[in-house]
Chains A and B, each alone.
Chain A
Amino acid sequence: MTAQVAESLPQEVTKPSLRERIRMHGGYLPYLLVLPTMLLILVIAIYPMLDSLRISLLNNPLLSQPSFVGLRNYTRVLSDPVFITAIGTTIFFMLISVVLETMLGLGIALLINKTFPGRGLVRAAILVPWAFPTVVSAQMWLLMYNDQTGIITYILQSMHLLSAGDTLIGSRIGVIIASIITDTWKTTPFMALLILAGLQVIPTELYEAASVDGTSRWQRFIRITLPMLKGPLLIALLFRSLDAIRVFDLFYVFGQRSVPSIASYANFKMFAGTAEDFAPGVAATVIVFLFGIVISLVFLFLMRESTSRN
């Protein structure tokens, strides 16, 4: 009944109701066909997630009879000043590194989108930093940040940005800066690649028509390239932000115990503490997960906005 009424209203035509969408037009076959996939997702994604949630509500999951303690583990980590600082560190790192990577990635993508001799080689070469496992590149950069032999320490000391005998990774802000530098070095190519893919689907006719109309390069960039890039850019930003909020390797190597990110804090709790610390560590990972959900929702909203406006 309601569905019929809804159908008769013109403004509702574009948005079928949930009930309409699950109407059994094709019998059970479609559902049967997606069932294996759904089961697989249930087993490998939903179940572990729910199980982590369950563990985070127990006192000590390693006991044979663990007891339910409600949100105690959450209040415990959230009242730990080290964890609060870790949240600040991680969010600061995420904002700065994602902005830097997007700007540099956009610039590089625009450059390698042009035709020039050796373009294929440059496109391949630019991906090299991204191909390294993060923990390996972190160790390489650690050598460069080393207080005695590190090239970056040497440069910073000769510019008098660091006092003699000090190192960048000796302070909290220094560790964050070091992580941002390394992360930007490593993942800018990834951003560039995603943006390049977006650039390549923009029809050249648009630019041709615009240049016939006598537009400047800047106008074409602002009026054509950026609006057309919005979709791919949002996806790239979503990927990077989700990656950055759960940053682990860089802080594990540079910050160690003194400057943890949320994820490395959780790791130290779960695997380097006593048995009592395991459940609070799981609670910390659930918090990382919640951050991820919030970020995804924000981007989902932005993407809906952009598609509905188009």
Chain B
Amino acid sequence: MITEQREALDEIIRKMRSGRITRRHFLERAVTIGLSGSAAVSLLEACGGSSNSTGGNGAATNLVWQSEQEATGTYQALTNTFNQTIGHKQGIHVTWNQGPAAANDMIIKYTNMLRARNNSIDILSIDITYPVQFAASNWINAISDRQWPVSERAKYLPGPVQGCTYQGKIWAAPFRTDIGLLYYRKDLVSRPPATWDELTSVGQSTQARAKYGYVWQGAQYEGLVCNFIEVLHGYGGQVLDPHDPTKVVVNTPQAQMALAKMVSWVGGISPEAVTTYMEDSSRLVWQNGNAVFMRNWPYAYTLGNDPSQSKIAGKFAVAALPYGGNNTVGHSAIGGWNLAMNSYSPHTAQNWEFIRYMLQPAAQRQTAIAASLAVTLQSVYDDPEVLSKNPLFKQLKPILQNALPRPVSPRYSDVSDSIQQHIYQALKKQISVNDALSSLDTDLKRIVAP
């Protein structure tokens, strides 16, 4: 929602409350501004007939929530429920704003808006890598321990909570999450590989029956960071010390094993072109039946089982990512969306009221059932109704519990950029594994230096 829209919206709400425009006129204008029909009706109800009327909730505050793209209408339903219940009691009305298809467009919109100290959006859905960066610019308010007690936080998945935490404060509430999964072909291999070594050797021996052994995301972009840290965490390595984000610990024997493994895949069990692959390019190879293993996010599960576009519908399963070295458990990278409060918004308490509602079991369950999204409340994964709707969730729970966030740093964009560059150069065999890690180490030390 841009500033002009927000101003126009506030204006018609004011006029409606003071009884200066008709209901019909209000709806027409709201739709012209770009609200969906149902959002306009719900806003009208919130306004009540006029300022003197006791109808509606006479909502004192109108909030705007900008979400990521959500196609099933669940977010609209959740917002409506809030407006009719808690919002009705407390005089809050939330307008939901659909997000763009490309997540990158949204970050540009946010940064432009927040650089201008604008408050046309009160509640922002932001990607897991941004809460800490936004916090460093003072763009979002921290959630206090009083608002969200530590005991309450423990009910949610630890990885996403950790990804939103910086310097002991939590900057956004993890609403839903996303994790890297290993997809494998049930018809070609009997069980998923436990270790990266096993994946490599099984990929080698079976790739003649597909075309490639393993496809993943090796292009120089954010996805490469996820792929790299998954292998790295699998070997027990780290990029930054999780307890001290200004300490770089990337140049270790574990990292050398991890990166050497990845380099050996390019042109081995993976096609040379894997260094140009993103999520969809690898998924297309996979859906055409040309790979034994694939690393991807959960979204590929539904698409891969759709016989109209996939040649391997029903022939695959997912598993946790493998591990290596002395480690005994694999770690997926975490994606996902978090709710943050614009620090330029004057409605601090009301913003939290809405976020708290979104974290409650009811909203989390509804999101898991209606939108099939992996939410952050742990108890949802044991809920029989959720499991009967999404059998995949049963498998996801242990993977989610072991998942680890990408390095948490207020300079994450630069950290990510540097990881992408050096890892990519190593994958292209332009530099050796040791050189890549030592120059990455030097670069990161400069970037994260306090």
Chain A interface residues toward B at CB < 8 A: 62, 82, 146-149, 163-167, 169-171, 256-258, 268, 271-277
Contact = CB atoms under 8 A, between A and B. Distances in A.
A271 B111 CA distance: 8
A272 B271 CA distance: 29
A163 B267 CA distance: 10
A148 B424 contact: no
A169 B428 CA distance: 12
Contacts of B137: 62, 275
Contacts of A82: 421
A167 B413 contact: no
The interface size bin for chain B is 20 to 34
Nearest to B112: A271
B354 to A, nearest CB: 27
A73 B421 CA distance: 21
B212 interface: yes
24 contacts: A62-B115, A146-B281, A147-B272, A147-B273, A147-B276, A148-B273, A148-B284, A165-B212, A165-B267, A165-B273, A166-B273, A170-B276, A257-B219, A257-B221, A258-B220, A258-B424, A272-B104, A273-B413, A274-B133, A274-B410, A276-B411, A276-B414, A277-B413, A277-B414
A166 B275 CA distance: 9
Contact of B417 (A149, A164, A273): A273
Contact of A167 (B220, B221, B273): B273
Contacts of B414: 273-274, 276-277
Interface string B252-294: 0000000000000001000111011000010011001010000
Contacts of A149: 284
Nearest to A166: B272
Interface in B388-425: 410-414, 417, 420-421, 424
B150 interface: no
A274 B137 CA distance: 10
Interface of B: 104, 107-108, 111, 115, 133, 137, 212, 219-221, 267, 271-273, 275-276, 281, 284-285, 288, 290, 410-414, 417, 420-421, 424, 428
Contacts of B107: 272
Given A62-B137, A257-B417, 4 more contacts: A257-B420, A274-B410, A274-B413, A274-B414
Contacts of A273: 413-414, 417
A256 B219 contact: yes
B290 A148 contact: yes
A271 B115 CA distance: 12
B249 to A, nearest CB: 21
B435 to A, nearest CB: 14
A256 B221 CA distance: 8
B11 to A, nearest CB: 28
A171 B137 CA distance: 37
A170 B273 contact: yes
Nearest first, the 8 closest Cβ-Cβ pairs linking A and B are: A165-B271, A147-B273, A166-B272, A258-B220, A257-B220, A167-B273, A274-B413, A62-B115
